[in-house]
Amino acid sequence: MSKGLLVVSFGTSVAETRKKTIEAIEADLAAAFPERKAYRAWTSSIIRRKLRGLGELNVDSVEEAMDRMFSDGITDLLVQPTHILPGGEYGKIVNAVNAAAGGRFSRLRLGKPLMTSDADVQAVAAVLEKEFSDVGDGEMLALMGHGSAEAKTNYYLLLAEAFRKDGYPNFIVGTVEEEPGFAPILTAARERKPECIRLLPFMVVAGDHALNDMAGEDEDSWASMLRKEGFKVECILKGMGEYPSIRAMIAEKARRAEAE
């Protein structure tokens, strides 16, 4: 039986963060499953088309990757997403896997995103609390998530609650889209009046959203809006994929899927 590993990410057009995040996750997963031939797929058709058009990178969709793996003789397939939560992008992977099940592959397993349970949320909170233990009481750490209209559970709100229960009320979670949005960040800043606000992308990559919506110079970026309020802002352009502990959590998701 020929074994394959398909690592699926949303994707990014920013090469620097791709190398530090997506490729780092792929390398860790390849090392965790040396008996499996590794493949890559991205769920964002917009980013795939953009990079293909520029002649920079040619990345498969999930369907294209599975076609390639089938042609290569893969019969035992493990699919692991790098997505933060089970939203619309993860749904694309589920649909592709369901369409391929019961036919072309004799064994097909799908791992879960980073956060799909209360235990996952607590584990992510613990990682960030340790990574940013130097954030003092007079400071604030503001996480920018993407947001999801499709996810049945709002894991961003659960993460914010986990920080509060753990005694980190100055760790605040917001999103670019959907709930909770930017409001919790601005409200907390006005109430706490921190000496400095650190902005951190709560996304696998520090890509377009981090560079523009979070740290950009336009007046509607988080950094600009907070500076306009008179706050000192520090932008941390480091995606979640850069943290070894987060990558280890993703690898563990794949191990659990394989063992099912």
Residues catalogued as catalytic:
146
Spatial distance between the Cα atoms of 98 and 118, rounded to a whole number of angstroms? 26
Asked if 79 and 49 count as a contact pair (C-beta separation under 8 A), the reply is: no
Per the structure block, which two tokens stand in for 42?
A: 């991205």
Spatial distance between the Cα atoms of 12 and 43, rounded to a whole number of angstroms: 10
Strands 3-9 and 139-145: unpaired
Which of these, 54, 66, 57, lies nearest to 11 by C-alpha position? 57
Q: Would you say the C-alpha torsion 145, 149, 151, 155 has a positive or negative sign?
A: positive
HSE at residue 99, side-chain half, CA atoms within 13 A, is 11
